[in-house]
Amino acid sequence: MKTYSTWTKPSASQHMLKFFRHADPETKHISRAAEVFQKTLRVLKKKVKQRYNQELTTPAQEQLLSWKHLKLIAELSKCPPTSPATCRYTHLYKYRLISGLCNNRQNPRWGAANTALVRWLPAEYEDGESEPKGWNPERLHNGFQLPPARTVSREIMTSASKWKDDSYSQLLVDWGQYISHDITLTPQSTSTDGSDVDCLKTCENVHPCFPIKSGIRQALQRQQLNAMTSFIDASAVYGHNQKLESFLRDLPGRNGKLAVNARFKDPKGRPYLPFVTKLPSACHQDLQGERVECFSAGDNRVSEGLPLTSLHTLWLREHNRIAEALKHINGHWSPEMIYQETRKIIGALHQIITLRDYAPKIIGPESFKHYIGPYRGYDPSVDPSIANVFAAAAFRFGHATISPILCRLNESFQEDERFPHLRLHNTLFSPWRIVKEGGIEPVLRGVIGSAASAVSTDMLLADEVTERLVVLDTLKQMDLAALNLQRGRDHGLP
């Protein structure tokens, strides 16, 4: 029988229906999905017949069907569901929504992009509602004023050197940063947020001001957003909204692949990530030759450091490699299906690497066994949203493992004469060092060929990041330890 859809062959789904009718509760929803899908298929075939007076038989018509089907999904994810009812169609679609919505049918927003970081303990603001700790110098905490974050950083948290950890390579650190960008991004507001109203001078409810006039309730406390999908779903590769996703895809190529850089390739002809569209970008430049702009990827911090950019580049290439292989063995698949199936595999690889190879090394195999253990199936009662304390404090432990030196190695895993090791601050927001200094290989060899910086029990940060950290937009020098402390106060972490 002809394949009409991106989902499954009609014959196969009929078979599935029979098969799953008596299956266990977890798989039963698949039978309902198959049922609804069959119905939709019938309706759409009828409509196509009425409109074009044709049967759905050619690949072009097959496309039309999958396109309509996807349009429905697209519409749904444009209007965030507010009740479980609005998620009712998404089970037609066997792939994760790009926004992470509707993963949990009862709680569609759990883990979705742009939802509040959850609290494990109520926030502690100075005024109870929104003022960061340390906002009002008069207020004492345990009988003391909070010291300025920068003083704590300088006097307690900074170290000129880092010990090396012989058990693990630097990749352990870099995977941590990479995967933290899959699951957390706390957007920061600008001071006026594009409005001419000064919220300090009004008691009216005028956008963007919402003065709180009555007693303090937890629900009115300031909360922070997570712009990323909380799921490990390779959102750092594909983005977390449709606009970004479309930008990152090679839609004209009709091959299910991701778009690649149109200007540069590596010395062996392998692709790089595309550049950002807003030019000139803020990234540093090698003053000789052509500009190399900041790269774009599913996460906009991609150009922050060379190992991070290298990992993003690897995943771009891996997506395109798998997409090509899938196309090769499934000539009848639509570009959409190749893309989605590849995205699903890439997402799974991110989960495997994180849960099998990363997390046990960070918390120790015993803790992993005790707190996480083997996967026992989907539990719809668990809210998978990232917690505020995890994004703003716990997972930032990684900042104490950042090495002040970035090693680059040649094919013999020796220091590369042409591209020597670099002090960290010379590598931040400098994608030109990938494009003009040998591609991602010297960096990747350095990452797997050098020892990780030890997570010392005193949690000191290298002075490279406390004195010479660069942040995008301003490219100003900042202090990562002070930022972390200040962020914790800003978020009202208890």
DSSP string, 216-281: --GGGS---EE-S-SS-S-HHHH-SSHHHHHHHB-TTTTSSPBP--SS-B-TTS-B-PPBPSSSS-
Judged by CB under 6 A, the residue of 173, 346, 435, 485 near ligand HEM is: 173
| CA 202/CA 223 separation, integer angstroms | 21
Cα-based distances in Å from 321 to 254, 296, 444 = 15, 19, 19
185 binds, among Ca ion, ligand HEM, none (CB under 5 to 8 A by kind): ligand HEM
- Active-site residue, selected from the candidate residues 91, 141, 181, 328: 181
409 binds, among Ca ion, ligand HEM, none (CB under 5 to 8 A by kind): none
In the shown chain, the binding pattern of residues 180 to 199 toward Ca ion, with x for contact by CB under 5 A and - for none, equals --x-----------------
Q: Is 399 annotated as a binding residue?
A: yes
Contact between 5 and Ca ion per CB under 5 A: no
Long-range contacts of 186-193 (CB under 8 A, 24+ apart): 186/117, 186/224, 186/225, 186/226, 186/227, 186/391, 186/392, 186/487, 186/491, 187/225, 187/227
CB closest to ligand HEM, residue no: 398
Q: By CB under 6 A, what part of segment 329-388 binds ligand HEM?
A: none
Contact between 186 and ligand HEM per CB under 6 A: yes
Instruction: Quote the least distance from Cβ 474 to ligand HEM, whole Å.
Output: 12
Instruction: Quote the least distance from Cβ 94 to ligand HEM, whole Å.
Output: 30
Tell me whether residue 173 or residue 283 sits nearer to ligand HEM (CB atom): 173
Torsion of the alpha carbons at 188, 191, 195 and 200, rounded to the nearest 10: 120
319 is catalytic: no
The residue behind tokens 């778009």 is 259
Q: By CB under 5 A, what part of segment 339-358 binds Ca ion?
A: none
Scanning 235-243, 285-293, 310-318, 461-469 for contacts with Ca ion by CB under 5 A, the matching segment is: 235-243
DSSP string, 120-153: SS----TTSSSPPTTSSTT--BTTBPPPPHHHHI
Judged by CB under 6 A, the residue of 102, 440, 443, 480 near ligand HEM is: 480
Instruction: Quote the least distance from Cβ 348 to Ca ion, whole Å.
Output: 13
What residue type is assigned to position 101 of the chain?
L
| CA 160/CA 151 separation, integer angstroms | 16
Contact between 126 and Ca ion per CB under 5 A: no
Contact between 176 and ligand HEM per CB under 6 A: yes
Query: Vertex 446, ends 440 and 451: CA angle to 5°?
Result: 150
Q: By CB under 6 A, what part of segment 452-471 binds ligand HEM?
A: 465, 469, 471
Residues near ligand HEM, by CB under 6 A: 173, 176-177, 180, 184-186, 304-305, 391, 395-396, 398-399, 401-402, 465, 469, 471, 480, 483, 487
List residues with catalytic annotation.
181
